[in-house]
């Protein structure tokens, strides 16, 4: 239609569709997930309330989502990296997990913690994985959306602020992983290696200001307060008077000794 109008009216040849700026309200905030939020979400995913229909199918999906959330929290991986993890990525003899970063096409290793081992062994023991994928449904292209929907519904039941302003999403567990490592280790290069970031600029989006930082700073400053705070006027005067008194006593003793 636009082409026909331009041919019939030459003055429309250079006409372009107007561009409208739409200010979308952010659906979520990238932040660290509180321990209580993490515990509540995983708990309801692994122990879902009765469903009115298709209960077995819903429970199976929510079980997958519960295990996914735990692995997101324990590996710092992106959602698509964790969903498509293969059994051979768990290097038991080396105590490491291999993650393939689809975003940067790089690979990295993260520690194979006890929590990761517990989730993986349970899935294998209960027949929830196959010879290739830890989550066999990963072969379905819509698996990502299904997991996100399950987390959203479970969070609503748990009365958690998920996917909204000041809330969190599955990607927030990557922020949580990085934040916890920084708090515990204070090692930025090591944390960047585990998270797969190559530059400080890209890594800076995962740095969060926490209340614990203020508390730790106050504690440290309190320990060195006597070094940083100058002596008060009264204290200086007292110290000078004490020195003068000691000097006078010393002089008196010398005079006594001479006489």
Radius of gyration for the alpha carbons in the chain, expressed in angstroms and rounded: 31
pLDDT digits (tens, 9 = 90+) for 187-243: 888 888 888 777 777 777 767 655 555 556 666 666 665 665 555 555 556 666 677
Q: How far apart are the first and last CA of the chain?
A: 123
pLDDT for position 197:
77
pLDDT for position 129:
96
100 phi, psi to nearest 5 deg = -100, 115
pLDDT for position 136:
97
Average pLDDT, 10 consecutive residues per value, the chain (259 residues): 62 59 53 91 95 90 97 93 96 94 74 94 97 95 95 95 88 88 82 79 66 59 60 60 67 51
Nearest to 33 by CA among 72, 82, 78, 68: 72
- Tokens 């927030």 — which residue? 172
pLDDT for position 227:
60
pLDDT for position 251:
53
Top CATH class of 35-172 equals: mainly alpha
pLDDT for position 26:
46
DSSP 143-197: HHHHHHHHHHHHHHHTT--BSSTT-B-TTHHHHHHHHHHHHHH--HHHHHHHHT-
pLDDT for position 66:
97
Question: Domain map of the chain by residue range?
Answer: 35-172, 229-258
CA dist 33 and 38 (Å) reads: 6
CA dist 44 and 54 (Å) reads: 18
In 104-130, which positions are buried (b, 16+ CB within 10 angstroms) versus exposed (e)?
A: eeeebbbebeeebeebbeebeeeebbe
- In angstroms, how far apart are the furthest CA atoms of the chain? 128
């Amino acid at each position: 239609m636009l082409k026909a109008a331009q041919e019939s009216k030459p003055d429309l040849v250079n006409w372009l569709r107007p561009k409208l700026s739409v200010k979308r309200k952010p659906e979520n905030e990238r932040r660290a997930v509180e321990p209580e939020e993490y515990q509540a979400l995983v708990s309801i995913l692994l122990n879902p309330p009765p469903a009115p229909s298709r209960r077995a199918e819903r429970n199976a999906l929510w079980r997958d989502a519960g295990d996914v959330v735990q692995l997101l929290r324990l590996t710092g991986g992106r959602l698509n990296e964790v969903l498509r993890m293969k059994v051979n990525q768990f290097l038991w003899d080396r105590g490491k997990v291999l993650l393939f970063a689809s975003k940067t096409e790089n690979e990295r290793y993260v520690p194979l913690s006890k929590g990761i081992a517990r989730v993986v062994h349970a899935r294998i023991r209960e027949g929830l994985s196959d010879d290739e994928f830890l989550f066999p449904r990963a072969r379905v292209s819509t698996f990502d959306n299904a997991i996100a929907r399950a987390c959203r519904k479970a969070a609503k039941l748990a009365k958690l602020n998920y996917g909204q302003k000041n809330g969190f999403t599955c990607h927030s567990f990557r922020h949580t992983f990085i934040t916890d490592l920084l708090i515990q280790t204070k090692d930025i290069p090591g944390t960047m290696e585990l998270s797969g970031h190559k530059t400080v600029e890209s890594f800076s989006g995962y740095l969060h200001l926490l209340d614990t930082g203020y508390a730790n700073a106050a504690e440290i400053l309190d320990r060195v307060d006597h070094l940083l705070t100058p002596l008060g006027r009264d204290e200086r005067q007292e110290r000078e008077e004490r020195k003068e008194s000691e000097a006078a006593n010393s002089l008196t003793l010398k005079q006594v000794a001479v006489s």
